[in-house]
């Protein structure tokens, strides 16, 4: 399989018209336990001239044991980065798309504490749907790009940072409730995870509004 290398083509083009880019990508949308996380990184003209960090890819294409090092290099490459969260309870209350928006808005708000975001900034959002604006991101120029986490180096950086942060959280939650195997499945619906739910019921970290035990298996190698 040919692995597509992320580039800075889109970022450099956008930076001709915008002073700053914020790239966002989500992790955990398809899980049945744990929060959803949205990584956000700042990309400016200086960062866009630097070499893309070694090993940077969409997080699903980076081996789990390599991700922390790649995330560290990505964080050092960009002027600022953050991860925003929306809890399982919030997902149950407002739905997954609205929760993604809340997590993204929180990530961007965190960036604003250390970087001045000019009025002409543009947000690269992986996917084909702007979930940021309806969640309170009014005033932000949001540009959804399909496969941005694969093709755009800034979005790949956001993807890896969010993945590492969420995986670390799920490992900590595993230590509290090891019966669900979250250190391995990271909250996705593996057969063993669903069997543990049948045996022990739902925890406060499960998305209770989802038909978890009857849903198709969402667990894939790339999710862990």
Pairing of β 21-27 and β 36-43: antiparallel
The predicted model scores a pTM of 0.92
So what's the pLDDT on residue 214?
A: 57
Encoded tokens for 17: 């018209």
Residue 102's closest CA among 84, 126, 125, 121?
Answer: 84
Name the more confident of 151 and 215: 151
**What confidence tens digit (pLDDT) does each residue in 150-197 have?**
999 999 999 999 999 999 999 999 999 999 999 999 999 999 999 999
**Residue 94 buriedness (CB in 10 A; 0-12 / 13-18 / 19+):** middle
In the chain, pLDDT over 90 holds for what percent of residues? 88
Least confident of 54-58, 96-100, 133-137, 156-160: 133-137
pLDDT tens for residues 128-153? 999 999 998 778 999 999 999 999 99
220: pLDDT strictly greater than 80: no
Alpha helices by DSSP H, 135-206: 148-151, 153-176, 182-185, 191-200
Go through the domains of the chain in sequence order and give each one's CATH number.
Answer: 9-166 (3.30.420.10)
Nearest Cα neighbor of 44 from 24, 11, 20 is 20
17, with CB counted inside 10 A (0-12, 13-18, 19+), is exposed
CA angle 64, 223, 146 (to 5 degrees): 110
Whole-number mean pLDDT of the chain? 92
Give residue 2's pLDDT.
65
Phi, psi of 144 (to 5 degrees): -65, 140
């Amino acid at each position: 399989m040919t692995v597509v290398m992320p580039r800075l083509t889109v970022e450099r083009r956008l930076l001709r018209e915008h002073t700053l880019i914020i790239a966002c990508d989500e992790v955990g949308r398809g899980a049945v336990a744990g929060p959803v996380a949205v990584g956000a990184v700042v990309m400016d003209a200086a960062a866009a001239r630097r070499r893309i960090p070694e090993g940077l890819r969409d997080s699903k294409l980076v081996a789990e044991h390599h991700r922390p090092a790649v995330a560290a290099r990505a964080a050092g490459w960009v002027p600022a980065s953050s991860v925003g969260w929306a809890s399982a309870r919030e997902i149950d209350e407002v739905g997954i798309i609205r929760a993604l928006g809340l997590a993204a808005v929180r990530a961007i708000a965190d960036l604003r504490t250390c970087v001045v975001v000019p009025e002409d900034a543009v947000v690269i959002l992986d996917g084909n749907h702007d979930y940021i604006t309806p969640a309170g991101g009014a005033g932000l120029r949001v540009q959804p790009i399909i496969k941005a986490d694969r093709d755009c180096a800034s979005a790949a950086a956001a993807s890896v940072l969010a993945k590492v942060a969420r995986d670390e959280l799920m490992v900590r939650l595993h230590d509290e409730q090891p019966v669900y195997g979250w250190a391995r499945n990271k909250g996705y619906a593996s057969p063993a995870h669903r069997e543990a739910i049948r045996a022990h019921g739902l925890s406060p970290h499960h998305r209770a509004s989802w038909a978890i035990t009857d849903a198709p298996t969402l667990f894939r190698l790339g999710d862990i």
